[in-house]
Amino acid sequence: MKLKEALKNTLSSNELDMLIRGYDIVGDMAITIIPPELEQHESLIGEAILSINKHVRVVAKRDGNYSGQYRIIHLKIIAGENRKETIHQEFGVKLHLNPETVYFSVRSGNERKRIAGLIQANETILVMFSGAGPYPLLIARYNKSCTIIGVELNKDAHAFALRNLKVNKAEKQVKFLHGDVREIVPHLGLLFDRIIMPLPKTAHDFLPLAMQNLRRDGWLHFYDFQSADSFAASLEKVNRCCPSLQRQVVESEIVICGHSGPDTYRICVDARIG
């Protein structure tokens, strides 16, 4: 049953029009948005979400916006059990996480699977901004000959990543490091075959660092937020970093992988850098 249908005898037709019908399901948690006009009914809305999703045990509402260096958001429980930790399954990978202390978007699951599908045999891969570990663990699951390093600043996210590493038995392929990529990556002394940069708001600040640690003809996956008529500007950000490092984009593609507001897309620039 749909949420609107479940609430048709509880909310007025005006209120039903204001209801945001979609919600994300992370493990056994549903995460929804309650417009201010409906706040007085938030527990009823939460109960309705519980009643139509038998495997959901916790309903939380977004209480603010994604913010700060860790890109996290405050959540308020509106129905169900009083906890914020859950276990999410993504294409066979188990992810323990708390969506309030760690950035995680279920909506990026297909994009992570797309990247995992691009990996060639024996690659050495860097995931900057690895969070609770979804990219490295998904890549490892589907590419047994590659090795991956993930670097994450948020210590809660890193702690979940270490737990997820064990749970998914990926210790031989994946290493998670805690800290700022600007401090950690230059000391690794490695040139990677592929570098993934899933921090759309500010990843451009890290492009020179990524290029310095990417082997010639290696692949860069640079995420950015961009309006529909300006996708080329994101590729231009990559191009602009090249001359001073004596590099060049030899092949590229732009992939739409989500939305961030009505006119803004989350895109990935896949670029082979010579």
Ligand X SMILES: C[S@@+](CC[C@H](N)C(=O)[O-])C[C@H]1O[C@@H](n2cnc3c(N)ncnc32)[C@H](O)[C@@H]1O
> Rounded to whole angstroms, how far apart are CA atoms 63 and 115?
31
Strands (E), 29-85: 29-32, 58-62, 75-80
Check residue 71 for interaction with ligand X (CB under 6 A).
yes
Candidates 70, 192, 219, 265: give the one binding ligand X (CB under 6 A).
70
Check residue 205 for interaction with ligand X (CB under 6 A).
no
Which CB sits closer to ligand X, 11 or 97? 97
Candidates 90, 152, 193, 270: give the one binding ligand X (CB under 6 A).
152
Give the 3-state secondary structure of residue 89: strand
Binding segment for ligand X (CB under 6 A), chosen from 34-42, 46-54, 131-139, 249-257, is 131-139
Crossing angle of helices 134-142 and 109-116, rounded to 10°: 40
Candidates 32, 98, 154, 164: give the one binding ligand X (CB under 6 A).
154
Which CB sits closer to ligand X, 44 or 179? 179
Handedness of CA 191, 196, 200, 201 (dihedral sign): negative
Query: In the bound complex, what is the minimum distance in angstroms from residue 50's beta carbon to ligand X?
Result: 26
Candidates 7, 32, 90, 135: give the one binding ligand X (CB under 6 A).
135
Q: Rg of the Cα trace of the chain? A: 20
Using CB under 6 A as the binding rule, the residues of this chain from 76 to 105 that contact ligand X are 103-104
Candidates 31, 199, 207, 211: give the one binding ligand X (CB under 6 A).
199
Element (H, E) at 242: none
Contacts of 219 (CB under 8 A, 6+ apart): 118, 193, 194, 195, 270, 271, 272, 273
String of DSSP letters for 156-186: HHHHHHHHHHHHTT-TTTEEEEES-HHHHGG
> Which single residue brings its beta carbon nearest to ligand X?
131
Candidates 108, 147, 164, 226: give the one binding ligand X (CB under 6 A).
108
Check residue 58 for interaction with ligand X (CB under 6 A).
no
Check residue 176 for interaction with ligand X (CB under 6 A).
no
Q: Which of 101, 76, 108 shows the shortest CA–CA distance to 152?
A: 101
Residue 246, CA distances (Å) to 27, 216, 243, 274 in order: 45, 10, 5, 9
Task: Determine the size of the site formed for ligand X (CB under 6 A).
Answer: 21
Which CB sits closer to ligand X, 58 or 181? 181
> Where does this chain bind ligand X (CB under 6 A)?
69-71, 103-104, 108, 129-131, 134-135, 151-154, 157, 180-182, 198-199
